[in-house]
Amino acid sequence: MASELQQAKRPVSAALAGPYGHPFHPILVTVPIGSWVAALVFDIASRFVAGPGFLAEGSLWLIAIGVLGALAAAMIGFLDLFAIPTGTPAFRTGLVHMALNLAVTVGYVGNFLWRRATLDATGPVPLGPLLLAAVCLIALAVSGYLGGKLAYHYGVRVADEATQADGFRH
């Protein structure tokens, strides 16, 4: 058990996934999360302002940035998943986390294509794409909770307590 826990703390490739105790995946996920939250804010705001076309177009490009960021985060996330021993609760949680993130990313790709096909340069974001963005963001929040569980409950890619204690010695 202890060796499996240590295995999940070590990167498969430090050059790609980040060094021990400092994984790259949590840094990269800020791009899609931030982009997609901002896109939903733009979507909602486009329903309340005069001349909302700039918000609708901004939201479209925020979704695209989020998709690109999600793909980068997913590649590194796969490496972190491969460090977790199969058949464990942590691995199963990682699989659900991955599946939700892939579904959310596919949802946003679909949303981007839907918006591109129906873009009105002067109007607000239509209700359908706005609702899809909200549903995707809720699913992303659930996935984020599971990602937090992987790190803070199971200790995946988190330095061990002896290493953490070094930060509190005088």
76-108 pLDDT tens trace:
999 889 889 999 999 999 999 999 999 999 999
What integer pLDDT is reported at residue 20 of this predicted model? Answer: 64
CB 100 within 8 A of CB 83: no
H or E element in which residue 122 lies: none
For the cut 70, the answer to whether the pLDDT of residue 153 exceeds it is: yes
**Other residues' Cβ atoms within 10 Å of the Cβ of residue 30:** 11
Q: Distance from CA of residue 37 to its chain's centroid? A: 11
What integer pLDDT is reported at residue 15 of this predicted model? Answer: 59
pLDDT in tens, 105-141: 999 999 999 999 998 879 999 999 999 999 999 999 9
What integer pLDDT is reported at residue 67 of this predicted model? Answer: 99
Residues contacting residue 14 through CB under 8 Å, at least 6 positions apart = 20
Residue 166, in any domain of the structure? no
Residue 147, in any domain of the structure? yes
Angle 23-29-32 (CA atoms, 0-180°, nearest 5)? 165
Residue 169, in any domain of the structure? no
Higher pLDDT, 11 or 70: 70
pLDDT in tens, 3-17: 665 655 665 655 566
Phi, psi dihedrals of residue 168, rounded to the nearest 5°: -120, 10
Task: Look up residue 125 and give its DSSP letter.
Answer: P
Give the residue numbers spanning the domain of 37: 2-158
H or E element in which residue 104 lies: helix 89-118
Q: Could you give the number of structural domains in the chain?
A: 1
Residue 98, in any domain of the structure? yes
Residue 16, in any domain of the structure? yes
What integer pLDDT is reported at residue 93 of this predicted model? Answer: 98
For the cut 90, the answer to whether the pLDDT of residue 53 exceeds it is: yes
pLDDT in tens, 13-46: 555 666 666 688 899 999 999 999 999 999 999 9
